Structure 1
Amino acid sequence: MLAFLPKFLYNIMGLLIKFYGGRVVKGRLILIVDDDRFTRRILRDILEKEGYSIIEARDGEEAFRLYKEMLPDMVILDVVLPGMSGFDLLKILRKEEENLMLPILVLTAKGDFEEKIKGLELGADDYLVKPVNEKELVIKVNNLFQRIEHNRMANPLTGLRGNIDIKEEIKRRIKSKELFAVLYIDLDNFKSYNDYYGFLRGDEVIKLTAKILSDAVELVGNDKDFLGHIGGDDFVIITTPEKAEEMCKYIISRFDSEIKFLYDKKDRERGYIETTSRRGEKLKFPFVSVSIAIVTNEFRDFRSDLEISEVAAELKKKLKQMKGSCYLKDRRRG
């Protein structure tokens, strides 16, 4: 059995499994932790048939050692183990920040509701009931990998979908021939705020912006509207043309009324922040404001997301010349 090989062989086999794959179609390594050899065998046979590679552990101590040595892509963990329990191992794994994205499935006894709840509370992503159903196991493992991969592509600060999803969504809308409006949202005077208060306070501005945009989509927009975070202080909303300007007005109103509370009292009362340049000059910066460029296919056809972003860049240049929060819609034809 692989679980009894010496440490140096584990390291070599782990590299082979991860980088060369053998029969590994999906390129994923799963650690199965269960003291019952028969259960491990069943899980191994099912998952190997699906193209996954498997390593096994009989108890929590062995599982923790294997995890550190081989860094599997998923852990399937029985909650009842000799010595260190499955719950104890789950707590240890989730305690480390780098393991927060590690997908973990817990195995529970049939009908034991408390075990399921406790496992989920400790950070398990999902659970499986023994005896395991083959189809359910495969579906949950596949879905969990897909969900984790999607989360890795999301912006870590806001949790919103990132560049890849944004481009794919715009391409989908273009291909569908439906009418759409793309709102490119960014912040003015954000750098001066970040420099003055520090990046941790700057992160609060980004999170506030994300919350306001999310509320705008939910309260003003349509069911199928899309919200993404390009990065930094740049965001995208994809909606329908008739909703675009109403959404902009909501965003600007909310943002201007709430951003001031992220300034210290003395700065809030005077309405700006003041810094000193290297030359000793006093520099005044107004509150952070929001600019929104609206690009639609009402009056022209777009063939790519690049064409849309080019039009948005033109609008942004004009927006930067305006004071305070504002929006601008491209109304040109052809």
Structure 2
Amino acid sequence: MEAEKQDNIRVLVVDDEPSILEIITFMLENEGYIVANAATGSAALEKVVSFRPDLILLDVMLPETDGIEVARNLKNNFRTRHIPIIMVSAKRDIEDKVLGMEIGADDYVTKPFSREELLARVKMVLRRTRDQLDRNPLTGLPGNIYIEVETRKLMKSGEHFNMLYVDIDNFKPFNDYYGYDQGDVAIEILRDVILNTVEKLGTSMDIVAHIGGDDFIIITFSDSTEKIADEIIKGFSRQSKSLFPKEDIKRGYFVTVDRKSKKSTYKCNLTISVALIKDIDSRFTNYAQLVDSAMELKRYAKSIGGNRYVEERRVSNNSS
């Protein structure tokens, strides 16, 4: 029963000793984990992008770029900072452990370790991370719980930030007509467009969350918030064309039929709507109020036609 819970959990093992890689890989695969390997720091950073692990087992002593530097790089990147890291080392120096924890590592295991200890630490960190992040199983992005906790922290600190709420228009009829697999592809396309855009125009401290369905929230500290919204719209518009069969594109539309046999016609063109709230400050007293405002803006954007963003322009109640 326990092994079933590990299905589809992806673990990246980073170690320059082939024998260690082989042993850890065998242990994890025997428990049902999906495992990828890397022998250097640079290879690990590349593998993280393509493999999208749920957990990283990272050796401290690596050639070229050591494990501490790899962990620091991952934790300073908005794409990867949420991935839990267990540092692995033959050294027992307390300094290494402290440094690893200071840069954001989630746990530390010392070689030689037993099978039982390693698997217990892996399960503990994954369980703790799942509870904290509520990661979306399709996109691998943090979910509702994480974005709410982080937003509450920012609101409490008084630090100004911006929020974008992104949503696909007419996603349900598209999903019903072309099937859930194609709907998942559409969501993954939007995820990639958002991540690439935020990486290009945002900051290293930005947060991207998938809060369910086709809804994404972006917290950004960038001064280019409008440009981020515009680039996401343009990028998704370009890439979403691949979602439709050629014959449907040639016809120009698809038709759905509901339970009451009512027909509805939709263009072969998926669009998105973006709500944009800038300089969030004391005018919002809680997270629910902020999200409600974003959803209201999103609904307005949808009402006036997709592929556009709408900005909240209300001034603070405290302004003179």
Counterpart amino acid of residue 149 in structure 1: R
The answer to whether the 8 A contact 1:315-1:328 is kept is yes
Please give the alpha-carbon distance, in whole angstroms, between the structure 2 residues aligned to 1:174 and 1:232. Answer: 26
The answer to whether the 8 A contact 2:276-2:310 is kept is yes
1:227 Cα deviation after fit:
0.3
- Structure 1 residue ranges, 4+ long, deviating more than 6 angstroms after superposition: 102-106
Work out whether 1:139 is the aligned partner of 2:139. Answer: no
Please give the alpha-carbon distance, in whole angstroms, between the structure 1 residues aligned to 2:309 and 2:236. Answer: 13
Aligned ranges 1:230-249 → 2 under 5 Å:
230-240=211-221, 242-249=223-230
Match of 1:311 in 2: 293
1:321 Cα deviation after fit:
0.7
**Matching residue within 280, 290, 304 for 2:272:** 290
1:120 Cα deviation after fit:
5.2
Please give the alpha-carbon distance, in whole angstroms, between the structure 1 residues aligned to 2:12 and 2:280. Answer: 47
Work out whether 1:256 is the aligned partner of 2:237. Answer: yes
Deviates more, 1:232-241 or 1:267-276: 267-276
Please give the alpha-carbon distance, in whole angstroms, between the structure 2 residues aligned to 1:99 and 1:299. Answer: 42
Match of 1:332 in 2: 314
Q: How many pairs were matched up?
A: 236
- In structure 2, runs of 5+ residues without a counterpart are 29-34, 36-55, 60-87, 98-106, 110-117
Measured against aligned partners, the alpha-carbon deviations of 1:24-63 in whole angstroms (never above 9, x if no partner) come to xxxxxxxxxxxxxxxxxxxxxxxxxxxxxxxxxxxxxxxx
Deviates more, 1:262-271 or 1:225-234: 262-271
Please give the alpha-carbon distance, in whole angstroms, between the structure 2 residues aligned to 1:168 and 1:317. Answer: 25
Identity of aligned residues (%): 31
SS in structure 2 of the partner of residue 178 of structure 1:
coil
Please give the alpha-carbon distance, in whole angstroms, between the structure 1 residues aligned to 2:212 and 2:193. Answer: 16
Normalised to the residue count of structure 2, the TM-score between the two structures is: 0.64
SS in structure 2 of the partner of residue 320 of structure 1:
helix
Please give the alpha-carbon distance, in whole angstroms, between the structure 2 residues aligned to 1:322 and 1:316. Answer: 10
SS in structure 2 of the partner of residue 168 of structure 1:
helix
Please give the alpha-carbon distance, in whole angstroms, between the structure 2 residues aligned to 1:321 and 1:181. Answer: 23
Deviates more, 1:311-320 or 1:193-202: 311-320
Please give the alpha-carbon distance, in whole angstroms, between the structure 2 residues aligned to 1:299 and 1:151. Answer: 30
Aligned ranges 1:1-334 → 2 under 5 Å:
71=2, 98-101=6-9, 113-119=17-23, 121-122=25-26, 123=28, 126=57, 133=92, 139-140=108-109, 144=122, 145-147=124-126, 149-151=128-130, 153-240=134-221, 242-277=223-258, 282-286=263-267, 287-297=269-279, 301-333=283-315, 334=317
RMSD, aligned CA: 3.3
The answer to whether the 8 A contact 2:205-2:221 is kept is no
- In structure 1, runs of 5+ residues without a counterpart are 1-67, 72-92
1:315 Cα deviation after fit:
0.9
Please give the alpha-carbon distance, in whole angstroms, between the structure 2 residues aligned to 1:321 and 1:257. Answer: 22
Please give the alpha-carbon distance, in whole angstroms, between the structure 2 residues aligned to 1:203 and 1:154. Answer: 16
The answer to whether the 8 A contact 1:228-1:237 is kept is yes
